[in-house]
Amino acid sequence: MWRFHKYFGKELLTNLGLTFLMLFGIALLSVVARGIEHASGANIVWALLIALLLAIDTVPHLLNISLLLATVFTFSRSAAENEITALRMAGISPIRLMGSVLFVGAFVAAINCFLIHNVIPYVHYKKYRVIEPLVQQLLSSRETTNNSWEIGGNSLRWRRSDGNRYEGLIFKKPERDGHRIEGFAAYAERTTDRSKRILTLTLHDVRLFRYERLDDGALSLENQGLEAHLSLSVDLEELLGKNQREEGEKDVSTVQLVSEYARGGSKRPGYTSWLIHDRNSRGLAGLLFAIVGFPIGLLMRRAGRGAAVAFSLLPLGLYYLLHIVVNRALATSLGASWPAYLPLLGLFGLAWLLLHRAYRR
């Protein structure tokens, strides 16, 4: 029996790898435009890196879909070529072939659990945060274009630059009361803080002018005189438009979530508990997708791969309907965590029905 498990397991893994590479390639191509948009003018290398981070976020879903299709393809081919019939005639029940299915399904589930609990939260955090080399590339590209910046509402122009030093500056700085300050500076120096997030320009030998709008709509100019230093700061994440959301539970690994929940440090304990169980559920889904794909392959032996793929939409649709719609809605309305396992129960019920029908034939 080990030879059969090895034979089908090898074919399963081959189909799984090919299907995953195809789906991941499609996912990567679909987010390249978003990567270029998020790169905000930086070179293509950083745009592709951002697109890769966006695509990695979909890997657990792609692994599950690839495993389902790989199982269907493997056993529909085996059934169409009468290998399953030959095994039955030899007195070997097809149910014994599920050993290879369970092994590959458990293997994919283990990979998914690791990704969902540890890697995906980090990727989810990183894809919304500025990468410092990307910021430097962006600043350099703007400097070489026209010796000017428009950052954080501040407008700057300079005569010449040398590394982090700029000479002969003209600048505009808005104020919270709606007024603005304009001026000249002999030179400026650029620095960033330890987090590489806050960029600061320190201007030296500054002459300031303050513009104030009067009640009749006219502008009043006031000479503020000379100042030795003036600092202009900007958040680099805001500069690249990546700071549209605050850090949340989805950006934290499961170990950290469990630790916060256990010591009562979670701001939303109900949501945190549900999210932990939801990650467990999504990680284990691959095993059930493999089990569901096995009877589909047996039942689709004469229908061809097109029909097999079309029939595979049934478990996929059921799973994502329960996962996206029913799961979160029930968890929110009931204030409980157990709805996170409803998608698994739905797949288990469907697998039982399909296995029963396949073996009755």
**Cα 247 from chain centroid?**
14
Mean pLDDT of the 106-125 span: 91
247 — phi, psi (to 5°)? -65, 135
Give the C-alpha separation, 252 to 269, whole Å: 14
Mean pLDDT of the 277-294 span: 93
Mean pLDDT of the 289-311 span: 83
State yes or no: pLDDT of 96 exceeds 60: yes
Instruction: Mean pLDDT check: name the lowest of 118-122, 282-286, 324-328.
Output: 324-328
120, 254 Cβ separation under 8 angstroms: no
Give the pLDDT of residue 98: 81
State yes or no: pLDDT of 88 exceeds 60: yes
Give the pLDDT of residue 297: 85
What single DSSP character describes residue 94? G
CB atoms within 10 A of CB 264: 7
DSSP letters spanning 286-316: HHHHHHHHHHHHHHTTTT-HHHHHHHHHHHH
- The winner for highest mean pLDDT among 47-61, 83-97, 301-315 is 47-61
Give the pLDDT of residue 66: 95
185, 230 Cβ separation under 8 angstroms: yes
By the 10 Å C-beta count (0-12 exposed, 13-18 middle, 19+ buried), 119 is classed as: middle
